[in-house]
């Protein structure tokens, strides 16, 4: 059964996390994206536990009340600190210096790419949902005849100081109708808003964008065995960025395209995504 617990890291931050599976089983660390939460993984955790894995899904920096440094100081949300959180959470979970499986969606995917780039020796496998490799994403943004710049236009709005208030106005109407308007079930939406639907959490989440403008990240070719899952109805990540990801992972890369699925893969196609994840983990044991 899933347990909600608090993970206090050596940096002094306390992350709220859902945990399931045998202590001592291979660690699978799952990172959510924006504007979601640890609840993204509610279908995956029991399946991972049943397969013998120790699954840990935290609300990330800024989303967890106990891990919310001042968002007006953007250095608190710099990319290297987000990567550092992953290594510290793994340590508290009992995997200091040990290899584990890294999984991430959207911004959690961006951080997961960063972990794989900075600490490849720590990862047995990498699974990314939706978020392309940063270099592929950057190339798609710069493509003159491409549409990725249009798909990513909301990123610019997130830099504006009034965005948080606008997103939460009228019972978070813009979050509900806009970003979640890709077939996310209503209960999933409410679960995420229970974490993110307050000014303090939302401002901290937006600090990720403000501190890392353009999703810029200096990440080279990934050597960790990687599974990339992308829904072909994703409104925010286009085919140029998605298919280009293969150029930045060597030598082991697999891509699975989910027909008719949008950006929020685990909320829209949890059974299929979990099935693909389990198969990938089995191919690359710790």
The reported pLDDT for the residue numbered 142 is 85
Give me the number of domains the chain comprises. Answer: 1
Segment-wise mean pLDDT, segments of 10 residues, the chain, 286 residues: 97 98 97 96 98 98 98 96 98 96 98 97 98 94 81 73 90 80 84 96 96 78 98 94 97 97 95 98 97
The reported pLDDT for the residue numbered 144 is 79
B/e letters for 52-77, b = 16+ CB within 10 Å, e = fewer, are: ebbbbbbbbbbbbbebbbebeeeebb
The reported pLDDT for the residue numbered 126 is 98
Kindly report the CATH number assigned to the domain that includes residue 26: 3.40.50.1820
Give the whole-angstrom CA distance, residue 253 versus residue 242: 13
The reported pLDDT for the residue numbered 46 is 98
> Could you tell me if 240 and 140 are in contact, meaning their C-beta atoms sit under 8 angstroms apart?
yes
> Could you tell me if 132 and 244 are in contact, meaning their C-beta atoms sit under 8 angstroms apart?
yes
Strands, DSSP E only, in the chain? Answer: 3-8, 14-20, 27-31, 54-58, 100-105, 123-129, 226-231, 253-258
Residue found under tokens 């198969």? 279
Instruction: Report the length, in residues, of the chain.
Output: 286
The reported pLDDT for the residue numbered 150 is 76
Question: Could you read off the pLDDT of 97-149 as tens digits, one per residue?
Answer: 999 999 999 999 999 999 999 999 999 999 999 999 999 999 998 887 778 87
Domain hosting residue 253, numbered range = 3-283
């Amino acid at each position: 059964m899933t347990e909600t617990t608090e993970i206090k890291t050596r940096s002094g931050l306390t992350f709220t996390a859902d945990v399931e599976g045998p202590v001592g089983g291979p660690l699978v660390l799952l990172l959510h994206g924006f504007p979601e939460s640890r609840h993204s993984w509610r279908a995956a955790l029991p399946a991972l536990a049943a397969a013998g894995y120790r699954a840990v899904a935290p609300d990330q920096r800024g989303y967890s009340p106990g891990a919310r440094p001042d968002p007006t100081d953007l250095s608190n949300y710099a990319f290297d600190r987000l990567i550092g959180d992953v290594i510290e959470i793994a340590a508290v979970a009992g995997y200091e210096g040990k290899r584990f499986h890294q999984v991430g969606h959207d911004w959690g995917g961006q951080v997961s790419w960063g972990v794989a780039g900075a600490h490849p020796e720590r990862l047995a496998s990498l699974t990314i949902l939706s978020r392309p490799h940063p270099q592929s994403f950057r190339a798609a943004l710069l493509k003159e005849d491409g549409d990725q710049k249009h798909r990513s236009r909301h990123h610019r709005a997130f830099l504006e100081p009034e965005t948080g208030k606008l997103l939460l106005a009228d019972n978070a109407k813009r979050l509900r109708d806009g970003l979640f308007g890709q077939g996310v079930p209503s209960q999933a939406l409410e679960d995420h808003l229970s974490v993110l639907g307050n000014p303090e959490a939302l401002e901290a989440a937006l600090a990720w964008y403000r501190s890392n403008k353009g999703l810029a990240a200096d990440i080279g070719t990934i050597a960790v065995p990687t599974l990339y899952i992308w829904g072909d109805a994703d409104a925010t990540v286009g085919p140029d960025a998605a298919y280009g990801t293969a150029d930045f992972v060597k030598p082991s890369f697999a891509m699975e395209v989910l027909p008719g699925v949008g950006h929020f893969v685990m909320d829209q196609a949890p059974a299929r995504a979990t099935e693909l994840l389990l198969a990938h983990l089995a191919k690359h044991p710790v």
